[in-house]
Amino acid sequence: MKPIYIISSACISPQHTFEAIDFLSDASIVNARNNVLYCIEPDFKQFINPVQIRRMSRALKIGFSAAMKCINESEIKEIDAIIIGTGKGCLEDTEAFLHSIKQYHESALNPTHFIHSTYNQLNGMIALNKKINSYNVTYAHRGFSFEHTLVDASLLLAEGEANHVLAGSFDEMTLEHFTVKKVWGYWKVEPIESKDLLLSKTPGTIAGEGSAFFILGNQKTKQNQAFIKSIRTMYKPTAEEIAFQIDSILQENDLLSSDIDVLMLGNNGNSNQQHHDLLFADKFLNANFLYFKHLCGEFDTASQFGFWLSTQILEKQQIPKALYGPNNQHKEEKKEIKQVLFYNNYFELNQSLILLSV
Amino acid sequence: MQELQELKQTLKTQIIESLNLEGMTPEEIDDNAPLFGEGLGLDSIDSLELMVLLERNYGIKIEDAREGRKAMESVNAMAQYIADHRTK
Amino acid sequence: MKPSIVVSGMGMYTALGKGLQANYNALSHQEHALGPLDFLKTTHAASFPFGEIKQSTQSLLQSLQLPIHKGYTRTSLLGITALQEALLHAGLHSFNQLKVGIVNATTVGGMCEVEKYYFDLLDHVGDYTEFSDTIDCADCTHRLADFFHIKHFVTTISTACSSSANAIMLGTRLVSQGHLDIAICGGTDALTRFTINGFNALKNIDKALCKPFDAERNGLNLGEGAAYVIIERADDCAKRNHIPLASISGYCNFNESFHATAPNPEGEGAYQVMKRALAKANLQPHEIQYINAHGTATLTNDESESNAMKRLFQQVPAFSSTKCYTGHTLAAAGAVEAIFSVMALKEQCVFANLNFQHAMPEAQLIPQLHFEHQSIQHVMSNSFAFGGNNASLIFSKIENT
């Protein structure tokens, strides 16, 4: 695979990632309350005009603002594709429409909630607002939603069908959806502190939400620019299959496991799922193990946050302490952070590996 | 006559609420100004939302989108349409 | 040199019937399948005609010999039934060492079941656990992947009414670039109260049978269905001694960025997407002999699509909308109509556009009015959606050598 460069990015998350001056400093870390992490909302009016904003629900505002900031900062004039991933789309609208069907007995219903419940709403809005007449697709596949935007972007770039692709994802957590998933056992019963999440020995995890967007291209545009080298998505893989794919990525890029400087892991503290800690610990002796889900919570497109962090670490050559593992174990500060291997595990169903470099 | 004035006032509040016209006051909506396009800048989805408003608050069911658009040309037109057709 | 990509198998289940043959029979006899609902409970059951598949969810489960209370939604079951036919049709009895992936499409996923239990779930009453987690689009795709042991690539596209056309496009690209040997592409959507009320809130459902491209058209009829095509490289297909059905010669996805739900009346997006698909196929407009139009019969779509066809084709070829037979099957529509397009190539025929009386005064276009056999080399299939998402696919006849 040809390198895919990250030309610009923007990330709205439960942490100060959108307008942050410091990069996840200890003092800035936001902790989960009642097992959920909600996004720190920017001033949406900076990004959305008053006529549009009045109909947009929270998820759209968050996704739209992240996409706008990413586009504006890229200084790219022509975007050739918009590819967005979302596991659940605009949940608030879906829920509102379900309620109104019941409340008003299937008559005189507000169309806006229905329109916004369609998964490709954000795609359309960004295209409309930025007049991007081009390839435009939405992936709605739980823990692969974000990863498959990258896969599609890599195809488009390889085909020569695009030079610059806007790829990103969004998901929101509503109170109602939190309750629904609580019934299904997704969240921990006992309230847990973010910092204790990864050490937890109980079932379930904490909920989260967010949006991250990236302008991707196949030409390097600046110094110290992060780029993607390989992507794998694995559906219900066994430990052997994960190990096989890791080896295949290393081989594809002519790397040894000792070349990996950072492992960015999507552990979520759920005792009901395999985290394959040993597999990684045995294989990557030189790497710093970093974690991100205690800072963003678990959601369908949580990998966007870990991926965004990986790009920032590579470009800033700096690792925020908040990402170090539960026991604050980390290897000596290295001279250079060159290779980051990202691994996400969405409730064992959807798992992914992405190799990034700088 | 006064009834129609009151109706217009209520209607403006309902329009602002239903379309989420944040920061707008009833006084800012001109009785005669077109609601769509030029005037308030509303679009076809707003017209559907206004039809929901008519049905829920005044029991007026408009089946044809084109008729709806005519009934909702301005606050004046809408108020008159309500006065003529309301069932509640 | 890009490899030639072919469709090597197809399978479907629509209101017209289970399987390719039932669907072709209905189309060739000009018999639609729209009428009142028997299974889905809604206050609109008798107010609009629907393309409902006349098999209960229970019976679908039984015919697939799947266990009850295991969360198989109607959407999943329709999908599995259609995909079973497609794999058989493609002669794929096992995948062996092949890299097989599924690109599925759906707009509401398991909403057909979730909407029945949602409020019990919120109130913690009754039995609501079976369909936990089917509210999203991925559930039905996972069910398909598990049933058929597909592991290599599993994804779901959801771009409203163009979803499965986009799925076919992605599958073609994945196979073309060698990421997959076999791409299983299509979509599935069951009728739901959610969508019926949604389209009703948009005031674009016709109370009568829909009349695509007619001056008096007044909206769409909703349907349900599932349809899948098997996509592979022509040489791989030849190697396993299987005769392909058609080649996928052109495709395009193009967003016209005009409006959240309405197309540009001038048909700019529809024009661009058809033009670009032709360019991709290296074909001139006059080489297309049949267009399976999007033709929802809404006021705006048909006006926009007509204008685009008039602008692109000096002489508009035979065209028809088959949504007047099946209803608009949403995420499945792109694949349903791709299959009808391949059927047109295989059987050398064009399908009739039903319920047409008067040409639109502006466009003056008359669709194909009768089922007819004709010589056909290249067929175009259009799918347009909310959010300005336009897709166009071109299928070509494979010459016997």
What's the rounded Cα separation, in Å, for the pair A162 and A138?
A: 17
In a mutational test of the C interface, the residue from A109, A118, A122, A123 whose CB has the highest number of chain C CBs within 10 Å is A118
Is residue A119 assigned to a domain?
yes
Q: Are residues A148 and A38 in the same domain?
A: yes
C202 with A107: Cβ contact below 8 A: no
Chain B 5-44, CB below 8 Å of chain C: which residues? 43-44
What's the rounded Cα separation, in Å, for the pair C397 and C393?
A: 14
pLDDT of residue A159: 95
Q: What is the mean pLDDT of residues A152-160?
A: 97
Nearest to C388 among A107, A118, A128 (CB): A128
Question: Shortest Cα distance from B65 to chain C (angstroms)?
Answer: 7
B44 with C259: Cβ contact below 8 A: yes
| Chains A & C: contacts with CB separation below 8 Å | 176
Q: Are residues A130 and A11 in the same domain?
A: yes
Question: Shortest Cα distance from A54 to chain B (angstroms)?
Answer: 5
Q: Are A14 and A209 in contact (CB under 8 A)?
A: yes
Chain C 158-187, CB below 8 Å of chain A: which residues? 158-160, 166, 170, 173-174, 177, 179
| Neighbour-count burial for A316-342, b at 16+ CB within 10 Å, e otherwise | eeebbebbebeeeeeeeeeeebbbbbb
Structure tokens at C13: 């289940």
What's the rounded Cα separation, in Å, for the pair A85 and A158?
A: 20
Q: Which helix (H) or strand (E) holds C104?
A: strand C100-105
Nearest to C257 among A121, A131, A179 (CB): A131
C261 with B51: Cβ contact below 8 A: no
Largest Cα span, chain C = 65
Interface chains of chain B (3 or more CB pairs under 8 Å)? A, C
What's the rounded Cα separation, in Å, for the pair C380 and C277?
A: 9
What's the rounded Cα separation, in Å, for the pair C223 and C330?
A: 8
Report the catalytic residues of C. Answer: 161, 294, 328
Question: Shortest Cα distance from A167 to chain C (angstroms)?
Answer: 15
Chain A residue with minimum CA distance to B20: A54
Terminal Cα-to-Cα distance of chain A (whole angstroms): 15
What's the rounded Cα separation, in Å, for the pair C220 and C204?
A: 6
CA distances from B70 to A17, B47, B60 (A): 48, 10, 14
Q: Are residues A285 and A156 in the same domain?
A: no
Q: Which residues pair with A5 in a beta bridge?
A: A217, A227
Q: Are residues A35 and A146 in the same domain?
A: yes
Please list every residue in chain B whose beta carbon sits closer than 8 Å to the beta carbon of residue C261.
44-45
Largest Cα span, chain A = 65
* pLDDT more than 70, % of chain C: 99
Is residue A223 assigned to a domain?
no
pLDDT of residue A332: 66
Q: Are residues A167 and A24 in the same domain?
A: yes
Question: Does the CA dihedral C322-C327-C330-C331 come out positive or negative?
Answer: negative
pLDDT of residue A196: 92
Helix (H/G/I), strand (E/B), else coil: B21: coil
Amino acid (one-letter) located at A176: E
Q: Are residues A191 and A265 in the same domain?
A: no
Residue B63 has pLDDT above 80, yes or no: no
Q: What is the CATH number of the domain that holds A200?
A: 3.40.47.10
Nearest to B48 among C203, C259, C299 (CB): C203
- What's the length of chain C? 401
Q: Are A209 and A172 in contact (CB under 8 A)?
A: yes
Question: Shortest Cα distance from C325 to chain A (angstroms)?
Answer: 25
Q: Where in chain C is the domain with CATH 3.40.47.10?
A: 5-239, 249-396
Which CATH number is C249-396 given? 3.40.47.10
DSSP C391: E
Residue C274 phi, psi dihedral angles, 5° rounding: -70, -40
Is residue A48 assigned to a domain?
yes
Amino acid (one-letter) located at B32: N
Q: How many domains does chain A have?
A: 2
DSSP C111: H
Q: What domain range is A344 assigned to?
A: 228-357
Q: Are residues A116 and A254 in the same domain?
A: no
Q: Are residues A118 and A253 in the same domain?
A: no
pLDDT of residue B68: 80
Q: Are A351 and A243 in contact (CB under 8 A)?
A: no
CA distances from C317 to C231, C286, C313 (A): 27, 8, 8
* pLDDT more than 70, % of chain A: 98
Average pLDDT score over chain A: 94
Residue C401 has pLDDT above 60, yes or no: no
Q: Are A60 and A122 in contact (CB under 8 A)?
A: yes
pLDDT of residue A333: 66
Chain A residue with minimum CA distance to B22: A54
Structure tokens at A22: 């410091």
Q: Are residues A195 and A60 in the same domain?
A: yes
Residue C1 has pLDDT above 70, yes or no: no
Q: Are residues A265 and A340 in the same domain?
A: yes
Structure tokens at C125: 């009453």
Is residue A222 assigned to a domain?
no
Structure tokens at A163: 């030079």
Nearest to C136 among A88, A118, A155 (CB): A88
Q: Are C248 and C339 in contact (CB under 8 A)?
A: no
Q: What is the mean pLDDT of residues A241-248?
A: 97
Q: Dump pLDDT digits (tens) for C118-128.
A: 998 888 877 77
Q: Which of A187, A217, A247 is the last residue of a domain?
A: A217
Residue A225 has pLDDT above 80, yes or no: yes
CB atoms within 10 A of CB A282: 10
ipTM (interface pTM): 0.97
Please list every residue in chain B whose beta carbon sits closer than 8 Å to the beta carbon of residue A44.
none
Q: Are residues A49 and A183 in the same domain?
A: yes
Q: Which helix (H) or strand (E) holds C148?
A: helix C138-148
pLDDT of residue A290: 95
C203 with B45: Cβ contact below 8 A: no
Of the listed ranges A173-187, A302-316, C209-223, the one predicted with least confidence: A173-187
Nearest to C154 among A97, A106, A235 (CB): A235
C132 with A183: Cβ contact below 8 A: yes
Q: Which residues pair with C205 in a beta bridge?
A: C220
Question: Shortest Cα distance from C263 to chain B (angstroms)?
Answer: 12
In a mutational test of the C interface, the residue from A84, A129, A142 whose CB has the highest number of chain C CBs within 10 Å is A142
pLDDT of residue C29: 98
Q: Dump pLDDT digits (tens) for A6-54.
A: 999 999 999 999 987 789 998 899 999 999 999 999 999 999 988 888 8
Helix (H/G/I), strand (E/B), else coil: C107: coil
Q: Which of A217, A249, A276 is the last residue of a domain?
A: A217
Q: Dump pLDDT digits (tens) for C252-272.
A: 999 998 887 788 889 999 999
Nearest to C201 among B43, B44, B48 (CB): B48
Q: Which of A183, A217, A251 is the last residue of a domain?
A: A217
- What's the pLDDT band for A140 if we cut at 50, 70, 90? very high
A108 with B52: Cβ contact below 8 A: yes
Residue C328 has pLDDT above 60, yes or no: yes
SS (H, E, C) chain A: CCCEEEEEEEEECCCCCCCCCCCCCHHHCCCCECCECCCCCCCHHHCCCHHHHCCCCHHHHHHHHHHHHHHHHHCCCCCCEEEEECCCCCHHHHHHHHHHHHHCCCCCCCHHHHHHHCCCHHHHHHHHHHCCCCEEEEECCHHHHHHHHHHHHHHHHHHCCCCEEEEEEEECCCHHHHHHHHHCCCECCCCCCHHHHHHCCCCCECECCEEEEEEEECCCCCCCCCEEEEEEEEECCCHHHHHHHHHHHHHHCCCCHHHCCEEEECCCCCCCCCCCHHHHHHHCCCCEEEECHHHHCECCCCHHHHHHHHHHHHHHCCCCHHHECCCCCCCCCCCCCCEEEEEEEECCCEEEEEEEEC
Q: Are residues A59 and A202 in the same domain?
A: yes
B45 touches A at CB < 8 Å: yes
B43 with C259: Cβ contact below 8 A: yes
| Cα atoms found within 13 Å of the Cα of residue B82, Cβ hemisphere only | 28
Question: What is the CATH T-level fold of the domain C5-239, as seen in this structure?
Answer: Peroxisomal Thiolase; Chain A, domain 1 (3.40.47)
Please list every residue in chain A whose beta carbon sits closer than 8 Å to the beta carbon of residue C387.
118, 120-121, 123-125, 127, 136
A108 with B55: Cβ contact below 8 A: yes
B16 touches A at CB < 8 Å: no
CB atoms within 10 A of CB C266: 15
Q: Dump pLDDT digits (tens) for A166-217.
A: 999 999 999 999 998 998 899 999 999 998 999 999 999 999 999 999 999 9
What's the rounded Cα separation, in Å, for the pair A181 and A339?
A: 36
